[in-house]
Structure 1
């Protein structure tokens, strides 16, 4: 058994992970069966590795004995040993997460820190085929898409799982036949945890259905992974065809084009999943919602804008403070750019980023502020006044665009809707004595 299993593991490393043979590795070791076997196998293959152990301080003396056991294992294998203690319960309470989630976050954050600080190339964990099946069933019970059914990845950035091909029975047989010693975590038998309940009550019954159940499951996982890769390639194609960049922070989806692909809810899932959206029924309803409707993820906002959906990053609240410009000042930095004011002799070309005004008509200090309901101005080149809300509607400005509007004001009067339209009251006339050129960059 020793030679057979070791030979299979060696071939697996050579076929799938040959880069590990020349890498500096860190093995995450709890002291349990799986991680002890992984450490022993890597040692027999002559891999260059160290061992890392987390003491979560959840089982009193038992946790300390686990730590001492792993320290001795590292000593016996003549490899360096890294350890850390966590106040897991305190962290879980502070972060309002479960003990299991707290422990996972703490250990993976520490592994990443070791990777950076100590120069490890990869971190090996001892997940195996039964872990994969349990994860599949957990995700299935909670409701998931195909990405939740493809199992634990063998390679996930710096984390490598070289035992994922093998079952727990294979690992146990190897350990038993070679008289290996390991620690048993008493909490692993507590069926109040979902994973343990699946491990001890569901999986054994599934395995009785067929002697080849786990093998067939691995085949299914392989098929799902291939399907997922195909789906990803199609999603990439659709993204290239349908997503339109408005600026660095905003993407636009034409609704009519989205509908051409059919199954809009599914398309929206694959288009928006990476932006953190989860309430997919609400997302689908955006297609028929009134313009201006918006929903949020933790990082992004989805806005209905007439015949489009807009995706934009959620930023820290932009300040609504007013900025003053004294007469002696010629430059002001605001969130949307830098205003420059310069006296000139001759009027040059006009564009949306440049206006020319009669200085004598201005009241100092000038003010730059956000627009608000009820604001009105006298559009340059037109007679009469117009509410900004009406102007924005006529210009078909989106909700996002309106939120980014800044005004240059003289007293209570608007001089310029910055980047859009100047006010007629401040235009230069034949009798104008001093012309100011105002630009935004």
Structure 2
């Protein structure tokens, strides 16, 4: 066990110099992990969470871990949470609430104390249970691989070991640990799988854990091939723009649905939505799909993925030299000689005598209209943006400069005709907009 544990550490670049925070509940698995790190002379710190779910039993677990750390001179951190209240407030199951609270606190500790990794004592049986849960929930291939040894700053050094191997090591080394009584009930889904499903599967294959480990290895090889193919597809059909991420229509065929799914899930879209998006491409542009973090707009010849942002608040700015910020845009105002040639549409030159002393910089709104430079009649901005072939995903990011209720500049596109400089202009004002 000790050599296999050490091999796992070396494989992931963990050395005695690595600053590690161990999540220790006081149960069998975490106490074995703590013993192994200490036996190998690693300098570690321990974090223990009291979720307040089992009354005096939870308090006794906390005292047990605290006493062990004091006896062995290991830095000890602890926190207590009202998990039931948190679960009710946030509409979560007890298990998900405990997970949220635990990892939020672990990450705060790691950042404050410069721990490089948070080590948890998940083992091979935990990974098998996770894979079976994912199977029941209809997850993809990645779900069948169970728990990964390293994800971000979370490290699981015991994933190579079975529950039986951990029990044997604890007995051989006389390691004291605490039993969590909630592990014996079938209230939680994981316990149901542990107590009923896995024993039934082991009647089919007594070496179930070894078979699972072999399957995971094969799946990871297959996934590596799929990832490489998906990267090739993305490099051919995905590109970034001011509107967000654009997926070109040529890459969207029924046969490429798996590629589209692997791209969209990174933006929070689910499999069902992915299946609805392909048929929508054949319809009229403008259909929008939403995840919790992004929108996907079916545009002319492409899909546009944009991050959901809060509505941009309007700000008042004086017509004076200075820099002003609105969302991720910066506006530079200079009372100066206008350039002979405008370098691009992000620069506008307006007549100060026609501008009001203070301007409103805001998002355009439905119903807004202006007289574009070179025209004589009002035009709705919505129609103007269509004429300019502005992608649907970019339209909601367009802003305007307003002077006394009249739009002086559709920022980055065109000024209002009345605000142009003429031979009678005494003072020109130069506006330059850029993305931060």
TM-score range, shorter chain: 0.7 to 0.9
Q: For 1:136-155, list aligned pairs within 5 A.
A: 136-155=131-150
Question: Equivalent residue for 2:383?
Answer: 390
CA contact (8 A) 1:364 1:411 kept: no
Whichever of the two has the greater Rg, that structure is: 1
TM superposition shift of 1:412 = 5.3
Q: Separation in 2 of the partners of 1:28 and 1:429?
A: 71
**1:149-181 per-position Cα deviation (integer Å, ceiling 9, x unaligned):** 221111223322222111111222232344443
The answer for unaligned runs of 5 or more in structure 2 is none
Q: Separation in 1 of the partners of 2:395 and 2:10?
A: 57
Q: Does 1:34 align with 2:25?
A: no
TM superposition shift of 1:287 = 2.7
TM superposition shift of 1:86 = 1.8
Structure 1 pair 298–107 and aligned structure 2 pair: CA distance change class (3 A):
same
Q: Separation in 1 of the partners of 2:10 and 2:349?
A: 71
Give the SS at the match of 2:304: strand
Q: TM-score, normalised by structure 1?
A: 0.85
CA contact (8 A) 2:296 2:304 kept: yes
Question: Equivalent residue for 2:284?
Answer: 290
CA contact (8 A) 2:237 2:251 kept: yes
Question: Equivalent residue for 1:86?
Answer: 81
Give the SS at the match of 2:252: helix
Question: Equivalent residue for 1:305?
Answer: 299
CA contact (8 A) 1:338 1:440 kept: yes
Pick aligned residue for 2:432 from 433, 436, 440 = 440
TM superposition shift of 1:331 = 5.7
Give the SS at the match of 1:149: helix
TM superposition shift of 1:364 = 6.4
TM superposition shift of 1:113 = 2.6
215-224 vs 76-85, greater mean Cα deviation: 76-85
Structure 1 pair 173–405 and aligned structure 2 pair: CA distance change class (3 A):
closer
Give the SS at the match of 1:311: strand
Pick aligned residue for 2:191 from 189, 196, 205 = 196
Question: Equivalent residue for 1:185?
Answer: 180
Query: What RMSD in Å do the two structures reach over aligned CA positions?
Result: 3.0
CA contact (8 A) 2:118 2:155 kept: yes
CA contact (8 A) 2:230 2:262 kept: yes
Q: Separation in 2 of the partners of 1:323 and 1:352?
A: 22
Pick aligned residue for 2:398 from 393, 405, 414 = 405
Q: Does 1:258 align with 2:258?
A: no
Q: How many residues align?
A: 428
TM superposition shift of 1:47 = 2.7
Question: Equivalent residue for 2:324?
Answer: 333
**1:69-105 per-position Cα deviation (integer Å, ceiling 9, x unaligned):** 2233334544333322222112222222111111112
CA contact (8 A) 2:237 2:250 kept: no
Q: Separation in 2 of the partners of 1:367 and 1:122?
A: 48
CA contact (8 A) 2:127 2:159 kept: yes
Q: Separation in 2 of the partners of 1:438 and 1:29?
A: 62
Q: TM-score, normalised by structure 2?
A: 0.86
Structure 1 pair 379–124 and aligned structure 2 pair: CA distance change class (3 A):
closer
Q: Separation in 2 of the partners of 1:70 and 1:215?
A: 32
CA contact (8 A) 1:324 1:365 kept: yes
Structure 1 pair 364–232 and aligned structure 2 pair: CA distance change class (3 A):
same
Structure 1 pair 391–166 and aligned structure 2 pair: CA distance change class (3 A):
same
Q: Separation in 2 of the partners of 1:25 and 1:367?
A: 52
**1:290-332 per-position Cα deviation (integer Å, ceiling 9, x unaligned):** 322212222222112211111112122112x474757xx4667
Q: For 1:5-404, list aligned pairs within 5 A.
A: 5-10=1-6, 12-13=7-8, 16-17=11-12, 19-247=14-242, 250-259=244-253, 263-278=255-270, 279-319=273-313, 321=314, 323=316, 325=318, 329=320, 333=324, 335=326, 336-338=329-331, 340=333, 342=335, 344=337, 348-350=340-342, 351-356=344-349, 368=361, 370-382=363-375, 384-404=377-397
Structure 1 pair 204–76 and aligned structure 2 pair: CA distance change class (3 A):
farther
TM superposition shift of 1:376 = 4.1
The answer for unaligned runs of 5 or more in structure 1 is none
CA contact (8 A) 2:49 2:79 kept: yes
Structure 1 pair 62–305 and aligned structure 2 pair: CA distance change class (3 A):
same
Q: Separation in 1 of the partners of 2:335 and 2:80?
A: 63
